């Protein structure tokens, strides 16, 4: 109850001065938490990013709308979000392909930022290059809705027992 009041007070203070852009971001965040509670997402950040996903022919495609929430200080998508998108898409694909007794944990990732993240949507296509019993190697490409290649990424994952921590 105390927390509810703190939130409502903070929100009322904010709304007085907030820009339309701020309000759009707030609404996007609230929708995200709602969708997470509905079971559509397992993490806050992916719920805020509004990731959607499909798998076609062993390629996992994860898409997000581009909105001000994603912007860096020069109004293109912050490289941290493309990194988050690539990591999530590659890791989700590996987790889909392995036994439920193990979980994929990122061991390393590299990203080449090729074009600025602008447009309506980012679409990440991830695929598995190698799937062993203890590790997996993957790659991903992120395009915008005009088909421009924005980011090329590669990553490795440790497959560890669900109950244990990594090496």
Please list, residue by residue across 50-72, b when 16 or more beta carbons sit within 10 angstroms of its beta carbon and e when fewer do. Answer: bbebeeeeeebbbbbbbbebbbe
78 forms part of the interface with its own copies (CB under 8 A): yes
Least CB distance to its own copies at residue 142 (A): 12
Rule CB under 8 A: is residue 163 a binding residue for its own copies? no
Interface residue with its own copies, options 71, 102, 121, 125 (CB under 8 A):
71
Nearer to its own copies, 10 or 96 (CB): 10
Give the nearest distance from C-beta 27 to its own copies in angstroms.
6
Contact map string, positions 88 to 127, toward its own copies, x by CB under 8 A = x--x-----------x-xxxxxxxxxxxx-----------
Subset of residues 43 to 62 that bind its own copies, contact rule: CB under 8 A: 43-45
31 binds its own copies (CB under 8 A): yes
- Toward its own copies, which CB reaches closer, 61 or 107? 107
Residue 166 interacts with its own copies (CB under 8 A): yes or no: yes
């Amino acid at each position: 109850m105390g927390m509810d009041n703190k939130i409502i007070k903070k929100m009322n203070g904010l709304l007085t001065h907030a820009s339309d852009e701020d309000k759009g971001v707030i609404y996007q965040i609230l929708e995200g938490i709602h969708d997470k509670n509905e079971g559509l997402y397992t993490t806050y950040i992916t719920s805020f990013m509004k990731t959607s996903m499909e798998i076609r022919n062993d390629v996992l495609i994860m898409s997000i709308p581009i909105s001000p929430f994603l912007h860096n200080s020069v109004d293109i998508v912050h490289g941290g979000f493309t990194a988050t998108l690539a990591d999530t898409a590659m890791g989700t694909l590996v987790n889909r392909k392995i036994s439920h007794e193990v979980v994929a944990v990122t061991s390393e990732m590299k990203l080449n930022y090729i074009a600025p993240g602008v447009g309506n949507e980012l679409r990440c296509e991830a695929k598995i290059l190698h799937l062993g019993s203890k590790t997996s190697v993957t790659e991903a490409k992120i395009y915008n809705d005009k088909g421009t290649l924005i980011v090329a990424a590669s990553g490795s994952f440790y497959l560890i027992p669900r109950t244990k921590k990594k090496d």
